[in-house]
Chain A
Amino acid sequence: MAESIRITTPFTEEMSRKLKAGDSVLITGTIISARDAAHKVMTEALARGEKLPVDWTNQIVYYLGPTPAKPGDPIGSCGPTTSGRMDAYTPTMLDQGIKGMVGKGSREPAVIESMKKNGATYFAAVGGAAALIAKSVKSYTVLAYPELGPEAVAALEVVDFPAIVVIDCEGNNFYEIGQQPYRHFDINQI
């Protein structure tokens, strides 16, 4: 595998469009966590015509609910959660200017269409590598919805956060590409 590509935030559409499915990246800068409850609250606020408490333009969203930080640590264990649960809300959120998403697992076709339209990239972090990922997080600051606990919207200052481009802005999907050479199974052969 080629060397990792270093990317920094803010993450613009121009930067996003250069990345290809399968690229390994190291992210440095600020990324913003949000998961199920925050997505529900934010899209409901938008539906009521309200302004969101966070400007999502050129941001990278991280689907995350960390464990509590031990005293002296910036954050607890903090691996990605399943992105698919956010799919219903994602096209609306991408229209808010998000250009990168970090999570794990497959996405719905409607999300991929919205990614192509908005020039957004979907990255996977390694699911379950939560203690390792925590090493790349330098600070954790709640920005909105503190009442949601681990589901609050928070800014994470990261250095060399490891991720892989799974779906690029053209809709190429590394989950498909990566599995294909090793797939020798046909359920109809049972």
Chain B
Amino acid sequence: MRELDVKLITENVAEMCKEAAYYLPDDVYRALKRGRETEKSPVGQIVLDQIIKNAEIARAEDRPYCQDTGMTIVFLEVGQDLHIVGGDLEEAVNAGIAKGYTEGYLRKSVVGEPLFNRVNTTNNTPGVIYTRIVPGDKLDITIAPKGFGSENKSGIAMLVPADGVKGVKRAVMEIILHASMNPCPPMVVGVGIGGTMDRAALLSKKALTRSIDERNPMPEYAKLEQELLEMINSTGIGPQLGGTTSALAVNIEWAPTHIAGLPVAVTICCHAMRHAHRVL
């Protein structure tokens, strides 16, 4: 059985936290450039120029793209034939987050308890860790830091089957219109359809780890992604101060659901669509 020392996990997670905070993925950068070419609002063009310049500075100088370096979401896929040795997996991941956020001069934005005693944990831990056991002997790690300007505008709708495609479109657009310019558009919209309430929410997060150049493999969902993107770009929200580039992409993921249900979750991400991926 293949062995993997937790020290390696900590080291890699630390580097990935920095990498995600500094380097905007190429697909998002290219989409911003395309948006700048087609943006009709003069103010929107100025905003996009600043956003593109910001991405270039952050990448060239190893600086956080945004000061909200997020709460650290971690997707782990652990091969069932892999033996993790030397310590506890979640502790190792959190140690990596603490190291990455400290060494990388990232902002520590996590409070230990949400309601009565909101004290900063000072190292951005704990991360939000989702672990799946999969075939194989590798550890697949995706780090997706999530800023809360956009997270606060995300939402969920528990539809019924009769609501259908129309209902899904309305539910997504109600969340988008309510969010308006607040989640730092141009946004990237992750949609989870089906499952249970919690599963739909998780799918909407997972959807954001897919390249924005890639459409859902099922043609009906790919079409829905395109239709929703066009609707969002005709709201006028634009890049924060009005215009035609409100969103760069809509990524949908779906899952089987109950005969009585049609959950729809929407995670809105700002233009800082950050993630890092490694396989150990």
Chain A contact residues, CB within 8 Å of chain B: 1, 22, 24, 64-70, 76-79, 81-82, 84, 104-106, 124, 126-135, 149-150, 162, 164, 166, 174-175, 177-185, 187, 190
Contact A127 B270, CB 8 Å, known A76-B107, A150-B107: yes
Q: Could you say which residues of chain B place their CB within 8 Å of the CB of A162? A: 50
- A selection of 23 A-B contacts at a CB cut-off of 8 Å is A1-B42, A1-B43, A67-B64, A67-B67, A67-B69, A69-B105, A77-B66, A79-B68, A82-B182, A84-B182, A126-B50, A126-B240, A128-B54, A131-B63, A131-B64, A149-B108, A164-B43, A178-B41, A178-B236, A178-B242, A178-B243, A181-B242, A190-B170
Q: How far is the CB of A81 from chain B (nearest CB, A)?
A: 7
Q: Is the CB of A67 within 8 A of B236?
A: no
Contact A183 B64, CB 8 Å, known A66-B107, A177-B242: no
- Considering the complex, give the chain A residue whose CB is closest to the CB of B243: A182
Q: Is the CB of A185 within 8 A of B235?
A: yes
Q: Is the CB of A182 within 8 A of B41?
A: yes
Q: Is the CB of A149 within 8 A of B149?
A: no
Cα–Cα, bound, A129→B53 (Å): 8
Q: Is the CB of A126 within 8 A of B65?
A: no
Cα–Cα, bound, A164→B181 (Å): 14
The answer, yes or no, to whether B241 is at the interface (CB within 8 Å) is yes
Q: Is the CB of B177 within 8 A of A187?
A: yes
The answer, yes or no, to whether B174 is at the interface (CB within 8 Å) is yes
The answer, yes or no, to whether B258 is at the interface (CB within 8 Å) is no
Cα–Cα, bound, A174→B69 (Å): 28
Q: Could you say which residues of chain A place their CB within 8 Å of the CB of B184? A: 104, 127-128
| 7 further A-B pairs in the complex, CB-CB below 8 A; given A177-B242, A190-B173 | A67-B64, A127-B184, A128-B272, A162-B50, A178-B43, A180-B242, A184-B236
- Considering the complex, give the chain B residue whose CB is closest to the CB of A37: B118
- Considering the complex, give the chain B residue whose CB is closest to the CB of A164: B241
Interface residues as binary, B83-118 with A (CB distance below 8 Å gives 1, 0 otherwise): 000000000000000000000011111000000000
The answer, yes or no, to whether B120 is at the interface (CB within 8 Å) is yes
Cα–Cα, bound, A177→B243 (Å): 11
Partner of B107, one of A68, A129, A174: A68
Q: Is the CB of A130 within 8 A of B181?
A: no
